[in-house]
Amino acid sequence: MPDLLLELFSEEIPARMQAKAADDLRRMVTDKLVAEGLVYEGAKAFATPRRLALTVHGIPARQPDLKEERRGPRVGGPEPAIQGFLKATGLASISEAKIQHDKKGDFYIALIEKPGRAAIDVIAEMLPVIIRTFPWPKSMRWGARSAKSGALVWVRPLHAITATFGLETEEPDVVPFEVDGIKAGQTTYGHRFMAPGAIAVRRFEDYEAKLKAAKVILDPQARKDIILEDAKELTFAQGLELVEDQVLLDEVSGLVEWPVVMMGSFEKEFLAIPDEVIRATIRNNQKCFVVKDPKTGKLTNKFVLTANIEAPDDGKTIIAGNERVIRPRLSDAKFFYETDLKTKLEDRLPKFEQIVFHEKLGTQAERIKRIERLAAEIAPLVGADVEKTKRAARLAKADLLTEVVGEFPELQGLMGKYYALAQGEDVSVAAASEEHWKPQGPTDRVPTDPVSVAVALADKLDTLVGFWIIDEKPTGSKDPFALRRAALGVVRTILTLDRPLNLVELFDKACALYPPKLPGEENTEAYAAHLFSLKPDTGPARPERYYVSVGLLGFFADRLKVQLREQGARHDLVDSVFALDDDDDLLRIVRRVEALGKFLDTDDGKNLLAGTKRASNILAIEEKKDKREFDGAPVVALYKLDEEKALAKAIDQVKSEASTAVAKEDFAAAMSAMAKLRPAVDAFFDKVKVNDDDPKMRENRLKLLNEIRAATRAVADFSKIEG
């Protein structure tokens, strides 16, 4: 079957846009082919700085013929309906329609036969639309045509279109179409400098080969492999080691069509700067890789660059040019670093009084004071020294005002650690400057030093509570203040800590540090009560901002589900444990979920779950019918059958044993106690008629079913468990 080759040749496409653009081109073309009945065998897209390319193989030469039956109006129906039917189906008269009989009457049926078109004609029709509607993040117009209405917009000026279609054994045809004066052909161009001439291509195989001969590596992954392997070989030859950087590699491979790896150097005096500053300077400003000494693990005064040309002087001019750019950049970085060292972190803090954190939550200085006080309260709970924790919390944000962080924001925290160590701070205090920001994402490490843990928790909890109080919660996919990430960071930190921490108590401590009234808000307690639609007497006794804590607890439950799901746990088990509302300790909740999961994998667990759900379903039906709940203790004197008595006895025993085990945090024992309920529940449903003819008997047995539900709630709300 025929293959399609498409290339869109333009000026340089930004590296950050290339991968998505290639994927968009593949998706848009193949989706349209399938929609037109042209089911293909395979497709692959490519991108270089100057071109997007696509090959689709195994496309049918023609569309399949279409036969369709379309039902029309009832025989004898209104004339306008019949005329509309004729117009829609292309029939000349109603006599050309068939009549179909069914139980609702007789209806006209039109048999529409539409012969398929040649695939090349379909492709020629769809490609101009795809090119004109291509979803670039940013696009432009150019040249004389740009002044005309409907002019083509593209990421950069589009110069040529290559489009061929045909069998492998035959000379392919050029797909006949034109976009904004650019006619499709079979001519492309090689490397801008080393082989700029026109190249005639037929199909993908010779297209890729001819481009390579013209100094263009079409496949982005092949360019990455060349850059990485050549860089490793070049550094290894000098006894050094490349500092790998996947993000930078992805970007650099999008800047060159013919990668040539070279090595440059800079003055050793710049090695006095922290390695991370050197790397950020060279990486951000010149897109070069840094090199380290494998013996010491420290950076050397070498860097690896990737050129887009084989220079006649073996790249000496290119290397010198890069060195000439990097040298003043490093000089600036060195100046910033040395300037920062002249001012102590603590002396920078007054400036935070003029920096607003949020218009409703006050200044950064006020926030730092809250974090310091909250961290001091958390410190004993995580085994941290209180005074060190307070000091760490006070200094943790100070590096935000330094010159280096102003130039390289990604170094926030890390520079704080370096500056704290330079001014003689305790190692734990210094480490907290960097670690309190962590984890930044699902793969980032969590803080482990107790001082860092206390400051990290205080920082994230203050943010969460504050934005909850002013009702700036995440909505849908929008989370402008990264509150989901903060909550997940708290969850991961607490689980890694392996210490019991009561979430609601932490929320309440954080709430208490906010003033009763915030700028632009009414009394926050009343506001929160309205926000969560809860009455003051709802639930157990809590501090005054219980309402904020309730809302946050549900939010944390969702984040915990995300975390446990990634670890392979079932989200419904998390729901069933959180539904009890009797435990705010994440670690205990996780242990309970783990024990519940193991229990439900056993026959006892599966059967007890089925019995409990059966009891719940019966109760739900009867409660709806009687418009009442069957709570309260059953009357022992009304037990007639041995199975009733045995179930009541088993429930009493299980309640006691499971509650005792849960109190001791022995969740495995609690599940073992639950297993004792299973035989009694099975026997009850086998022998006992719940909806007895005697109303008193029926009510008593329904109350007994409610006791089953109540007994299982010692470990989880089984109604929330799927299956």
Whether the predicted pLDDT of 539 surpasses 60: no
Query: Where is mean pLDDT largest: 372-386, 602-616, 674-688?
Result: 372-386
| pLDDT score of 520 | 55
| pLDDT score of 157 | 96
| pLDDT score of 526 | 47
Closest by CA to 495, choosing from 408, 586, 627, is 586
Top pLDDT among 542 and 193 is at 193
Cβ contact 376:386 at 8 Å: yes
| pLDDT score of 74 | 84
What is the spatial distance between Cα 562 and Cα 579, in angstroms, rounded to a whole number? 17
Length of the chain (residues): 723
Average pLDDT of the segment spanning 82-97: 84
What is the spatial distance between Cα 379 and Cα 390, in angstroms, rounded to a whole number? 9
699: its two tokens? 């009510």
pLDDT tens digits for range 662-717: 888 888 888 888 888 889 989 998 998 989 889 999 999 999 989 888 888 888 88
Residue 383 CA to its chain's centroid (Å): 33
Q: What is the maximal distance between C-alpha atoms in the chain? A: 104
| pLDDT score of 477 | 81
What is the spatial distance between Cα 293 and Cα 268, in angstroms, rounded to a whole number? 13
pLDDT tens digits for range 421-443: 999 999 999 999 999 999 988 88
% pLDDT > 90, the chain: 59
| pLDDT score of 529 | 45
Closest by CA to 14, choosing from 154, 197, 153, is 154
CA atoms within 13 A on the CB side of 571: 10
Q: Amino acid identity of 62? A: R
Top pLDDT among 397 and 586 is at 397
Whether the predicted pLDDT of 531 surpasses 50: no
Please work out, in degrees rounded to the nearest 5, the angle formed at the alpha carbon of residue 548 by the alpha carbons of 545 and 552. 140
Q: What are phi and psi of 101, to 5 degrees?
A: -105, 135
% pLDDT > 70, the chain: 95
Whether the predicted pLDDT of 540 surpasses 50: no
Average pLDDT of the segment spanning 375-393: 97
Cα dihedral value 462, 466, 472, 476, nearest 10: 30
Whether the predicted pLDDT of 500 surpasses 90: no
pLDDT tens digits for range 663-676: 888 888 888 888 88
Closest by CA to 611, choosing from 566, 577, 651, is 651
Whether the predicted pLDDT of 117 surpasses 80: yes
Closest by CA to 89, choosing from 68, 106, 63, is 68
Average pLDDT of the segment spanning 156-161: 96
| pLDDT score of 109 | 87
pLDDT tens digits for range 211-221: 999 999 999 99
| pLDDT score of 535 | 37
For the chain, the average pLDDT equals: 90
721: its two tokens? 């468990």
Q: Output Rg (C-alpha) for the chain, integer angstroms.
A: 36
Residue 439: asked if its preceding bond is cis (omega within 30°), the reply is yes
The residues with which 723 forms a beta bridge, in sequence order, are: none
The residues with which 160 forms a beta bridge, in sequence order, are: 9
Classify residue 280 by burial, with Cβ atoms within 10 Å: 0-12, 13-18, 19+: buried
Q: Can you say whether residue 584 is alpha, beta or left, with left for phi > 0 and alpha for psi between -120 and 50 degrees?
A: alpha
What is the spatial distance between Cα 287 and Cα 291, in angstroms, rounded to a whole number? 13
What is the spatial distance between Cα 637 and Cα 388, in angstroms, rounded to a whole number? 65
64: its two tokens? 């399949």
200: its two tokens? 């005639």
Cβ contact 121:60 at 8 Å: no
pLDDT tens digits for range 256-269: 999 999 999 999 99
Strand pairing class (299-307; 362-363): unpaired
Is residue 475 very low, low, confident or very high in pLDDT (cuts 50, 70, 90)? confident
Residue 146 makes CB contacts below 8 A (sequence gap 6+) with none
The residues with which 158 forms a beta bridge, in sequence order, are: 10
Q: What residue has token string 């029709």?
A: 125
Is residue 60 very low, low, confident or very high in pLDDT (cuts 50, 70, 90)? very high
Gap between the terminal Cα atoms of the chain? 48
Span of 112-116, 189-193, 307-311, 651-655 with lowest mean pLDDT: 112-116
| pLDDT score of 583 | 67
Top pLDDT among 276 and 676 is at 276
Is residue 530 very low, low, confident or very high in pLDDT (cuts 50, 70, 90)? very low
Query: Where is mean pLDDT largest: 90-94, 307-311, 542-546, 601-605?
Result: 307-311
Span of 92-101, 186-195, 517-526 with lowest mean pLDDT: 517-526
Cβ contact 329:286 at 8 Å: yes
| pLDDT score of 455 | 98
| pLDDT score of 715 | 84
Whether the predicted pLDDT of 338 surpasses 70: yes
What is the spatial distance between Cα 306 and Cα 320, in angstroms, rounded to a whole number? 13
Whether the predicted pLDDT of 498 surpasses 90: no
Is residue 582 very low, low, confident or very high in pLDDT (cuts 50, 70, 90)? low
Cβ atoms within 10 Å of 430's Cβ, excluding its own: 24
Measured over the CA atoms of residue 513, residue 518, residue 523 and residue 527, the dihedral's sign is negative
365: its two tokens? 């200085």
Please work out, in degrees rounded to the nearest 5, the angle formed at the alpha carbon of residue 458 by the alpha carbons of 457 and 463. 100
Measured over the CA atoms of residue 640, residue 646, residue 651 and residue 652, the dihedral's sign is positive
